[in-house]
A = this chain, B = another copy of it.
Amino acid sequence: MKIGMLGFGTVGQATVSTLLKNAEEIGRRFGGTVELVAVATRTPAKATGQVPAHCRVSNQIADVVNDPQIDVVVELMGGIDDAYKAVMTALENGKHVVTANKALLATHGNEIFNKARQRGCIVAFEGAVCVAIPVIKIMRESMSANRIESVMGIVNGTSNFILTKMREDGLAYDLAVKQAQELGFAEADPSFDVNGNDAAHKIAILTSLAFDVPVNLAAVQMDGIAKIHIEDIKYVETMGYRIKLLASARQSESGLFVSVQPTLVPLDHMLASVNGEMNGVHIKGDISGPTFHYGAGAGGTATSSAIVADLLDIGRMLHCDARHFVPLTGFAAPRNSAPVYIAPGASVAPRYLRFTVNDTVGVLATISSELARAGISVDIIHQDVPKHGHTNVLVITHDVALEALNQALHSLQKADSIEYEIVSLPVMSN
């Protein structure tokens, strides 16, 4: 199998290094050789010393995607527009593609999959989502007997690292971000991770596979972690929960609800044990029951594990016709009904609420009667010890539609006794 690589950053270098380090095992697993014959990178000088002697290095994408001897193009450029053009050309030229580019697939996945179907090519992308967790293979192949009921994951290591630091070391959000940056777990501008964009890309891809719907990034209801207070992290822990940036997709009678939002996860749930920069994905099938998978979500070496696995899958299929391949979204035939998404506001979940109140007689009554008036049923209500004339009232509701809750909170926000913005977070459904 002859491969060409686009981009030679951390992941590209790690992939070359993995192919060399475990060449003996990889060769025996494959029953053949994986040969890197061309690399296109903006900085050819850097690559030249690291690639095999016979491998051509250039700064022209066309030198890879148009090279007739190349069987598989490994796209590791990052970015969207240039990568899209490169991948579409490679497919047009009948080449299989391996990509770790989640932004590309979240925005252009449908066109790329269509082009691949048309050309009888494989597009493999295990490295695009939770790299060391083979969630793409698990959903498409291992769960093929199932209707998937829900996918819930901690899929962004940066925000999980920050939340873990806040909880374990009692750091405020800003300090935890700074520490993540110092340790290389967050970018200089961390907004793409902490706002939920990166997780949204991943859950958009997973939703497509789980529920047999087109990739639809716009359908992801997204919220980030920048407004999470250390005191909520502590409060919910005493109530049996842990705050995680949860990416989730769930099928209900009223439609699909796809979201990325800071969520209360029960402490005894596997997802609560996913700490630091690690990733975890919980998938529930109607036949398999609940399953959970854990591993590194980023890093050059871990990503190369997924990329090389994709290469060997392709290697076995290299001279097969396309009907032998695993279908791109797991389904070989199209669905016969359009997907329905739950509208923002219509999503239903239990919610955690924190009201900071001035220590006034009757404030509990104000809160509970307003919630009752709105038909919102309360599971737990707890008033903390007052300090300096203020205190916190903590509520966990039963299932409530977000819009109804927000209306009630809007009224309560105006009450004289309630100070600051009311905190409102969803609790994970099982």
Contact = CB atoms under 8 A, between A and B. Distances in A.
B296 A293 contact: no
Interface string A226-268: 0000000000000000000000000000000000000000001
B142 A134 contact: yes
Contact of A133 (B291, B299, B327, B330): B291
A308 B138 contact: no
A41 to B, nearest CB: 22
Contacts of A134: 137-138, 141-142
A305 B143 contact: yes
Given A144-B26, A145-B26, A293-B293, A288 B316 contact: no
A306 B331 CA distance: 17
Contact of A137 (B21, B28, B137): B137
Nearest to A321: B320
A204 to B, nearest CB: 21
B27 A333 contact: yes
Contact of A323 (B22, B31, B325): B31
Nearest to A30: B332
A307 B145 CA distance: 8
A305 B285 contact: yes
Contacts of A327: 29, 31
Contacts of A401: none
A19 to B, nearest CB: 8
A386 B10 CA distance: 59
A298 to B, nearest CB: 11
B142 A126 contact: yes
A313 interface: yes
Contacts of A146: 22, 25, 305
Interface residue range, chain A: 35 or more
Contact of A332 (B29, B138, B299): B29
A211 to B, nearest CB: 11
Interface in A128-152: 132-134, 137-138, 141-147
Contacts of A422: none
A294 B293 contact: yes
A331 to B, nearest CB: 5
A289 interface: yes
A335 interface: yes
B147 A22 contact: yes
A287 B18 contact: yes
A292 B291 contact: no
A30 B145 CA distance: 10
Nearest to A285: B305
A214 interface: no
A388 interface: no
Nearest to A137: B142
